[in-house]
Amino acid sequence: MKIHELELFLIESDRCDGPDRPRSLLVRMRTASGLEGWGESAFVWRPDELAARRDSLLAALSGRSVFDIEELHLLDALWPPPIRAAVEMAAWDLLGRVLRQPLCNLLGGFYRRRIPVSVRLEGCGCETAANESRELAEQGFHTITVAGSGIPDDDAAAVKAIRELLGDRITLRLDGQGLYDFEVARDICAELEYEGLQYFLDPIKTAEIHPSAVLGRQTNVPLALWRSIRAGGDVFAAARCGAAPFVVIDLEQLGGIAPAKACAAVACAAGIIPVLGCRASSGVSTAAMLHLAASTPAISIANEIAPCQLRDSVLADSPEIVEGMILVPESPGLGVEVDRSKLERRRPIV
């Protein structure tokens, strides 16, 4: 079964106003028989260059077997990694449809059918954060990630307010988003040492691994790395220097589902807990993450896959959310269908 055709779609989020709406690139891969697969990346090109980019990608992909997934990772045309991730995702989706199997079965099977997720709280004050956390807990979401604002006192206060209101009913995380200097990050750790954080994600401005190891030796707050993890070797380096007991695996940063699965294996072997992370999504990449989590025993705690992404999707039917967990789609491939009318409405006006 050969790759015959390729289409690229640039879409904008419906949930944001203004000129800086988050955008996604969707890839539609098709065989001569009409079977198709979809992939997605938050890395985007300008609308006026999509045609040339599509021609360049198709020249490298046309005539290749959809079964040759690993070979895609050797193609110079699939650069940077987010583009490779989107194309590889489409190939996996297409392969599952060819074989009439859900992607999960091609990755190891359904180890779990419901994926726990962490809900992110961004841009809200202490009282609002605490009240929203209570509402989320009542809906069944028991892991909350507070997104750092860059204002240390505000971020620490939000964490404390949530913990005071909900106690041990929830698991609490803080995402520093690489906003803090080393000394500020250390001070935040000291202030939150007894607030029971599951982890403090990307606390330092640098994406280098060693500074996190230094910080980790000066605090009892568990650390996690996301921006630093771009290959399996980074997971190994984090384990070797003791930088963090958690790593967030991002399909876009790693370049696809296959390298993400490999990173999870490295983390498991090194005694590090892997978590999946997904940036802004129209639903396609979220579905891919669900299949990866479902088929990987080591990915066992709540993932950074925002349920709100499914409310902003271009899917005909979004995966169901039950008691704070997202059900893994069981139809062939990614198990989801792109609604072309929704897709067209989301394309930017140029």
- Kindly list the structural domains of the chain, giving each domain's residue range(s) and its CATH number in brackets, ordered by start: 5-100+339-346 (3.30.390.10), 107-327 (3.20.20.120)
Residues 301-347: tens digit of each pLDDT = 999 876 666 667 899 999 999 998 999 999 999 999 999 999 998 88
The values of phi and psi at residue 91, to 5°, are -65, -40
Give pLDDT, residue 17: 45
- Measured distance CA(151)–CA(184) in Å, rounded: 10
Query: Does the pLDDT at position 19 exceed 50?
Result: no
Residues 219-278: tens digit of each pLDDT = 999 999 999 999 999 999 999 999 999 999 999 999 999 999 999 999 999 999 999 998
Give pLDDT, residue 281: 87
Report whether 215 contacts 240 (CB < 8 A): no
Q: What's the residue count for the chain?
A: 350
What does the mean pLDDT of the chain come to? 93
Q: Which residues contact 317 (CB under 8 A, 6 or more apart)?
A: 336, 337
Give 6's strand partners. 29
- Joined tokens for residue 346: 């989301």
pLDDT classification of 98: cutoffs 50, 70, 90: very high
Q: What is the pTM of this model?
A: 0.94
Over residues 24-32, the mean pLDDT reads: 96
- Amino acid identity of residue 256, one-letter, is G
